[in-house]
């Protein structure tokens, strides 16, 4: 006989075994991106097509550099988690594990590359 109450057993679980943490993270990053994306689209759109000096001048300024840095980290986390959901829907077993690991690694690599470029330009 179990002395756990029904509520105790349900807490922090669900089919994912970690409750709604994934969904909540996606909501938080979605709100962050809702603020970042329009600003960044303007920064990037205005910089694209310029000379190298103009591009370096843009991303050396604090505001464009900070927005781009935030977008890289928040955006690539949001991508990794969203892509994970897609992979979980369509694949199983070892293929699923390899694709999820691959997409998380790719996301960090893209974020790190972008941050490295920013540091070189802005600092």
Partner 1 sequence: MAAPKRVERPLSPFMIGPYYRPQMTSISSILTRITGNALVVGVLLAVWWLLAAATSEEYFAVADAVATSWFGDLVFTLSLWAVWYHYLAGLRHLYFDAGKGLDVPTAEKLGWACIIGSVVLTVLTILLVQ
> Taking CA 107 as the corner, what is the angle to CA 106 and CA 113, rounded to the nearest 5 degrees?
85
Q: Report the residue from 11, 21, 25, 27 that binds partner 1 according to the rule CB under 8 A.
A: 27
How far is it, in rounded angstroms, from Cα 113 to Cα 119?
10
Q: Taking CB under 8 A as the rule, which mask of x and - marks residues 56-95 in contact with partner 1?
A: x--x--------x---x--xx--x--xx--x--xx-----
| Distances from the Cα of 38 to the Cα of 61, 67, 71, 116, angstroms | 18, 10, 11, 23
Closest approach of partner 1 to the CB of residue 84, in Å = 11
Q: Cβ contacts of residue 110 below 8 Å, gap of 6+?
A: 72, 76
Residue closer to partner 1, measured from CB, 8 or 61: 61
Residue closer to partner 1, measured from CB, 8 or 102: 102
* Residue whose structure tokens are 């600092």: 123
* Piece in contact with partner 1 (CB under 8 A), picked from 2-10, 11-19, 37-45, 93-101: 37-45
How far is it, in rounded angstroms, from Cα 98 to Cα 102?
6
Residues at the contact surface with partner 1, assessed by CB under 8 A:
27, 30-31, 33-34, 37, 41-42, 44-46, 48-49, 52, 55-56, 59, 68, 72, 75-76, 79, 82-83, 86, 89-90, 106, 110, 113-114, 116-118, 120-121
């Amino acid at each position: 006989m179990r002395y756990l109450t029904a509520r105790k057993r349900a807490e922090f679980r669900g089919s994912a075994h970690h409750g709604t943490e994934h969904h909540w993270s996606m909501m938080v990053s979605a709100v962050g991106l809702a603020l970042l994306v329009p600003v960044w689209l303007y920064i990037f759109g205005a910089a694209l097509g310029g000379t190298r000096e103009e591009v370096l001048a843009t991303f050396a300024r604090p505001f464009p550099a900070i927005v781009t840095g935030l977008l890289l980290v928040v955006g690539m986390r949001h991508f990794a988690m969203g892509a994970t959901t897609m992979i979980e829907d369509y694949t199983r077993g070892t293929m699923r594990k390899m694709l999820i690991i691959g997409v998380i690694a790719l996301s960090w690599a893209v974020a790190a590359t972008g941050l490295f470029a920013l540091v070189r330009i802005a600092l």
